[in-house]
Amino acid sequence: MNNSSLDLASMLCSRLCHDLLSPVGAMANGLELLAEERDGEMRGRIVELLEQSAKTSADKLKFFRLAFGAAGGFGEMVPVEEPRALVEALAANNRRISVNWNVSAATLPKPAVKVLLNLSLFGIEALVRGGNLEIGAEIREGSTEIAVRASGAKIAFDETVGRALDGTLPDSELSSRTAPAALIRKLAENLGGGLQYARTDDSLVMGAVLPVG
């Protein structure tokens, strides 16, 4: 493993820790409050918050396991119900986001699923004020084609993530925020495919074409 790969791995770990810190920290705080609280109604509210934080943590772990990791529980083809459930669970943390799923295939190659999940992650993060997330994928003519569109008021998209997607961000500027984009770009390049994106004030469109096999 070269230095670039080591840097990418460490940044992905940093990203995972960053995203899990909030719900796990909330659970730790909730347990402290629960140990001190004696009022029955307040204890019930604390338990509800603990359950919510635990679910958020589990949803994120499941998402990142397939989006970043080897996901050894799956073969080369992944049922589309898996990424769909992961995206919808992650988007549910923002009740103002509506997810529209348009995937014709019953299964997708694992690399394509990783790309789809990460593009969906960027779309969810762009919809800070809510909006629509549209996800489409199909296999045709020996390639998997993926399209993700986030539309809503005042799209929030870090241009360094875009530069990581299109390959113009130097490895020396890699960060935990841009690491997921760098990961799927390298994955697409290794397959002989590519990524692209376009952004306006109210939409972010991302796509990928990945040869199968």
Give the whole-angstrom CA distance, residue 72 versus residue 114.
13
If you average pLDDT over every residue of the chain, what do you get?
91
Q: Could you tell me the residue range of the domain that residue 22 belongs to?
A: 3-211
What domain count does the chain have?
1
The per-residue pLDDT for range 49-99, each reduced to its tens digit, is 999 899 999 999 999 999 998 766 778 899 999 999 999 999 998 789 999
| Residue found under tokens 């103002």 | 96
Q: Looking at residue 106, what is its pLDDT?
A: 94
Please state the φ and ψ torsions of residue 99, each to the nearest 5 degrees: -105, 125
Residue 38 has pLDDT above 70, yes or no: yes
Residue 44 has pLDDT above 80, yes or no: yes
Q: Looking at residue 82, what is its pLDDT?
A: 95
Q: Minimum mean pLDDT among 28-32, 71-75, 134-138, 169-173: which range?
A: 71-75
163, 170 contact by CB (below 8 A): no
CATH number at residue 12: 3.30.565.10
The per-residue pLDDT for range 168-189, each reduced to its tens digit, is 999 889 999 999 999 999 999 9
Residues of the chain with pLDDT > 70: what percent? 97
